[in-house]
């Protein structure tokens, strides 16, 4: 369809790489049309790329599969930034102002950008988020349009080890450009948290395979973000190591125990593993993960009373009973997250909790992509040359005149008689000497 925009996003998690395409109609309707993934073992650890060539191969496979599905070429992609070293560093920047001139959005944007110029030692600033504004030392939520002689802005720099972005640039070096780097946990928070949660205070917890990302919001601002090196795979490995089974077996055991976090677990034999034995390992490691999640509230300088609730996402959040255990520990209400409401996902096979991150990146991309731009160039096929040769007009044949049957007989008789006369005449004219 003409004017349809295509948005492509790539998300590198701690257990898989996912790529997806959404199409945005001229009316603003956004629908996810295709999704592909590649699972890996060692090329990515804790959400950080370890083997560039292997990761590049995974991404190229995903892009080729997507291109085959849409019959086009992917030119650009929005790429998510996440991983173990991603966290926030707070700062404050102040400026004197001309009190006769109103504060504008351009002034605020410039001050926020200037705050990132000094940088953070050993880290690269990926994004900067304003948290609070003070005009003449008075806090305000909307400084634009106000007058004052000074302004102070508290900001949170979202930082990561320089190798994270550098390796992302390396794996995206074959034909597909990075349209924009998006901080995955920040985008997910913007897309799936509701207005009350952002205003009253909320903790977004993403439990992945090898990492758990905690983002805390208050007064519509990100006030804290940290990536913990703990996740669902730690539980699986505890079972595998403790009970001397393969990791694949341990993963299936973990998923097939009913209520493994309860005090009384039904005794079952699952692939040669006693459910009660596996449950002990699950409880111990899950308790450690939840304790670390709860501790981040204090590290953010807040208390449980400052927050309204917790929103839980990620593959690790599917462990039976984990939401209730988090509620018991933090004393906060927990709800399970869902994909952004601005997206339409008609394919039920991909409408799953584990894809919330890639869906959020698509939704953000659809919101910020400029009019008239698209991440995909569709293939156009031209028809072959047409043969514009007209059939040569046939010359009209001279009609054969039909001769009546009576005339045919007369003509035949007359022809015989004339033949006899000619023969007699020939005999009379013969020379006698030649006889």
Domain ranges of the chain: 5-85+161-378, 87-160
What pLDDT, on the 0 to 100 scale, is given for residue 50? 87
Distance in angstroms (rounded) separating the CA atoms of residues 84 and 365: 24
Distance of CA 428 to the CA centre of its chain: 115
Instruction: Answer for the pair 50, 168: CB distance below 8 angstroms, yes or no.
Output: no
Residue count of the chain: 435
Of 40-54, 173-187, 367-381, the range with the lowest mean pLDDT is: 40-54
Instruction: Please answer whether residues 61 and 84 qualify as being in contact, where contact means their C-beta atoms are separated by less than 8 angstroms.
Output: no
Average pLDDT over residues 402-410: 52
Backbone Cα Rg of the chain = 40
Q: What is the pLDDT of residue 283?
A: 96
Q: Which two tokens stand for residue 109?
A: 């944007």
**Cβ(97)–Cβ(131) below 8 Å:** no
Does 214 score more than 70 pLDDT?
yes
The span from the CA of 434 to the CA of 319, in Å, is 133
CATH topology for the 5-85+161-378 domain: Nucleotidyltransferase; domain 5 (3.30.420)
Q: What is the mean pLDDT of residues 342-366?
A: 93
Indicate the pTM of the whole model: 0.83
Instruction: Quick: pLDDT tens for 103-115.
Output: 999 999 999 999 9
pLDDT tens per residue, range 61-102: 999 999 999 988 999 999 999 998 999 999 999 999 999 999
Whether the CB-CB separation of 9 and 33 falls below 8 Å is answered with no
- Compute the distance between CA of residue 118 and CA of residue 102 in angstroms, rounded to an integer: 27
- Read off the pLDDT band of 430 (50, 70, 90): very low
pLDDT for position 428? 42
pLDDT band of 29, cuts 50, 70, 90 = very high
Residue 416, pLDDT > 80, answer no
pLDDT at residue 45, rounded to an integer: 83
**What is the arithmetic mean of pLDDT over 23-29?**
94
pLDDT at residue 205 greater than cutoff 70: yes
Confidence of residue 429 (pLDDT cuts 50, 70, 90): very low
Closest CA to 20 of 54, 63, 52, 58: 63
Is the pLDDT score of 188 beyond 80?
Answer: yes
pLDDT at 346: 87
* 3-class secondary structure per residue, 190-232: HHHCCHHHHHHCEEEEEECCCCEEEEEEECCEEEEEEEECCCH
Taking residues 174-192, report their average pLDDT. Answer: 93
- Per-residue DSSP letter, 348: T
Q: What is the DSSP string of 225-260?
A: EEEES--HHHHHHHHHHHHT--HHHHHHHHHHSSST
**Confidence band for 206, pLDDT divided at 50, 70 and 90:** very high
Mean pLDDT of 267-274: 92
CA atoms within 13 A on the CB side of 11: 28
> What is the rounded average pLDDT of the residues 245-265?
92
Confidence band, pLDDT 50/70/90 cuts, at residue 433: very low
Specify the CATH number of the domain 87-160: 3.30.1490.110
pLDDT at site 407:
54
Query: In this predicted structure, what is the pLDDT of residue 434?
Result: 42
Q: Work out the pLDDT band at 15, boundaries 50, 70, 90.
A: confident
Q: What is the DSSP letter of 325?
A: H
Residue 170 has pLDDT above 70, yes or no: yes
d(CA 264, CA 328): 17
Q: Where are the alpha helices (DSSP H) in 257-355?
A: 275-299, 322-330
Confidence of residue 44 (pLDDT cuts 50, 70, 90): confident
222 in Cβ contact with 154 (< 8 Å): no
For the cut 50, the answer to whether the pLDDT of residue 424 exceeds it is no
Whether the per-residue pLDDT at 411 is higher than 90: the answer is no
Question: Residue 300: pLDDT above 90?
Answer: yes
CB 9 within 8 A of CB 77: yes
The Cα–Cα gap between 261 and 252 comes to: 16
Give residue 431's pLDDT: 47
Q: Are 208 and 225 in contact (CB under 8 A)?
A: no
d(CA 316, CA 13): 13
| Mean pLDDT over the full length of the chain | 87
Query: Helix-strand-coil percent breakdown of the chain, rounded to 5?
Result: 35, 30, 35
The pLDDT value recorded for residue 435 is 37
Query: Average pLDDT of 27-46?
Result: 88
Residue 321 pLDDT > 60: yes
Query: Strands 221-228 and 269-270, how do they pair?
Result: unpaired
Kindly state the percentage of the chain with pLDDT values over 70.
86
Whether 259 shows a pLDDT value over 60: the answer reads yes
Q: What would the mean pLDDT of 212-231 be, rounded to a whole number?
A: 96
Residue closest to 146 by CA, chosen among 154, 155, 134? 134
Judge if 5-85+161-378 and 87-160 fold alike in CATH terms. Answer: no
The answer, yes or no, to whether residue 182 has pLDDT greater than 50, is: yes
Structure tokens at 430: 């013969």
**What's the confidence (pLDDT) of residue 391?**
46
Q: How many helical (H) and strand (E) elements, i.e. helices and strands, does the chain have?
A: 11, 21
Q: Report the alpha-carbon distance of residue 43 to residue 58 in Å, rounded.
A: 10
CA proximity to 8, closest of 369, 313, 371: 369
pLDDT, position 46: 83
């Amino acid at each position: 369809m003409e004017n349809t925009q295509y948005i492509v996003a790539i998300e590198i998690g701690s257990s898989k790489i996912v790529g997806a395409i959404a199409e945005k109609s001229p009316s603003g309707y956004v629908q996810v049309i295709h999704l592909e993934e590649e699972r890996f073992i060692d090329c990515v650890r804790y959400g950080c790329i370890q083997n560039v060539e292997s990761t590049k191969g995974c991404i190229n496979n995903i892009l080729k599969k997507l291109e085959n599905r849409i019959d086009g070429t992917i030119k650009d992609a929005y790429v998510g930034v996440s991983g173990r070293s991603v966290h926030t560093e707070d700062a404050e920047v102040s400026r004197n102002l001309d009190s006769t001139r109103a504060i504008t959005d351009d002034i605020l944007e410039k001050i926020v950008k200037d705050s990132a110029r000094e940088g953070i030692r050993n880290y690269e600033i990926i994004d900067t988020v304003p948290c609070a504004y003070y005009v003449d030392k008075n806090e305000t939520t909307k400084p634009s349009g106000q007058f004052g002689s000074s302004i102070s802005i508290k900001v949170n720099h979202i930082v990561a080890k320089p190798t994270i972005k550098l390796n992302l640039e390396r794996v995206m070096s074959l034909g597909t450009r990075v349209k924009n780097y998006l901080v995955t946990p920040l985008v997910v928070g913007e897309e799936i948290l509701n207005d009350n949660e952002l205003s009253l205070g909320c903790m977004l917890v993403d439990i992945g395979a090898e990492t758990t990302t905690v983002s805390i919001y208050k007064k519509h601002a990100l006030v804290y973000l940290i990536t913990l090196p703990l996740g669902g795979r730690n539980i699986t490995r505890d079972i595998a190591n403790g009970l001397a089974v393969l990791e694949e077996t341990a993963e299936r055991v973990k998923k097939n125990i009913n209520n493994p976090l309860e005090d009384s677990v039904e005794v079952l034999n699952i692939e040669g593993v006693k459910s009660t034995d596996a449950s002990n390992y699950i409880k111990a490691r899950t308790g450690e993960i939840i304790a670390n999640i709860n501790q981040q509230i204090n590290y953010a300088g807040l208390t449980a009373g400052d927050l309204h609730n917790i929103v839980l996402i990620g593959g690790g959040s599917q462990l039976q009973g984990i939401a209730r255990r988090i509620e018991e520990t933090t004393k906060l209400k927990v709800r399970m997250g869902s994909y952004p409401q601005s997206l339409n996902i008609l394919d039920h096979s991909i409408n799953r909790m584990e894809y919330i991150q890639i869906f959020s990146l698509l939704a953000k991309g659809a919101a910020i992509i400029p009019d008239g731009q698209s991440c995909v160039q569709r293939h156009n096929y031209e028809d072959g040359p047409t043969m514009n040769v007209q059939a040569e007009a046939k010359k009209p044949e001279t009609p054969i005149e039909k001769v009546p049957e009576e005339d045919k007989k007369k003509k035949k008789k007359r022809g015989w008689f004339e033949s006899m006369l000619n023969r007699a005449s020939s005999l009379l004219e013969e020379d006698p000497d030649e006889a």
